[in-house]
Amino acid sequence: MSGNIGELTEVAMAKESVYGTAEAVFTKGVLVNPDSFSIPNETTAEKVPELSGVLMKTRSSAGAFNFPVNFSFWLDPGDDDALGVGEMLAGLFGNDTLTGASDPFTHTFTLLQSAEPLSYTIFRKTGTLTKVYAGFRVATIKLTVTAGEPRILVEITGICQSEATSVLTPSLTFADEPVLVPSQATLKIDSSANNDFESVEVTLGRVQEGVHTVSASRNINRLIDGDAFMDISLGGIEPTDETLRDKFKALHDLSTEQFRFDLEIVASASRKIVITADKCFFQTWEDPTHSEGLHRISATGTALRGSSFQTVLTNGVPTAYDA
């Protein structure tokens, strides 16, 4: 049974040429968190409500399949040996503008408005069980930065179209870049560093709806991508002034309540990630709790469409992630 323990699981992905058509070649692995990887096969199986003269139902029926995807990994800037945050950002945003003639290369991810975003095929092997999941699209990317922790968690959700058993035995390479850590992070509000918070959560996402059409398949036939969003959650000590709280209290007149948000995680000038939204507003603001120790507050916010809603990744990957 040792061949089926979780630590021996391999996970890989490959960008699809056609949505829902499984790729057959996998070379780059994904270093997923072993506690988080999950692609359950969900369906609606029901007893048929009908009278048959006995106190139990006679027949059952089964509906369509759904394959929600959940996994996480520890944030690193990415390299050319593995898949990670760069591929997930490309899958969510859709556009990757590459600059740089040599290492370091800069990848600027912006929203693709004119076409559907990328899709991936996921490969999973655990012991003798090997499966591929086609038509994976990213729904959310959540980064959690907590002061004092040794790593930064990246949580991914999405939807796959189908699953199939596979006989592939790819030889995979994995990332060797060091993980990024919370002590490398800087939170900026209105372009100024803010040291009032002990934790920052940023969720980037796109609304997704799986569509089942009348056909000879129990899988979703189309995956519709809707609005993009960015949600922010801050937790920490009581601010030393009322500047941020005044933004929360201000009327939503598209000027006074807005602030620029930047989360910079910098290992070096050549290895970093910067998440930016230039128009945000606070949705909730919890006054400090009066208990033993430091007073702490929490606040949540969200982003509006602005001129700088993007994520910039700097690493040694020489090709655009959307190529």
d(CA 31, CA 26): 14
Q: Which residues pair with 234 in a beta bridge?
A: 200, 299
d(CA 109, CA 245): 31
Please list the pLDDT of the chain residue by residue as tens digits (323 residues). 444 555 678 999 999 999 999 999 999 999 998 778 888 888 878 888 888 888 888 888 888 888 899 999 999 999 999 999 999 999 999 999 999 999 999 999 999 988 888 999 999 988 788 999 999 999 999 999 999 999 999 999 999 999 999 988 899 999 999 999 999 999 999 999 998 899 999 999 998 888 878 888 888 888 888 889 999 999 988 887 788 888 888 876 666 668 999 999 999 999 999 999 999 999 998 877 666 667 888 999 999 887 789 999 999 999 999 99
Domain ranges of the chain: 2-40+64-315
DSSP state of 9: -
Global pTM reads: 0.92
Whether the CB-CB separation of 301 and 280 falls below 8 Å is answered with yes
**Containing H/E element for 162?**
strand 162-165
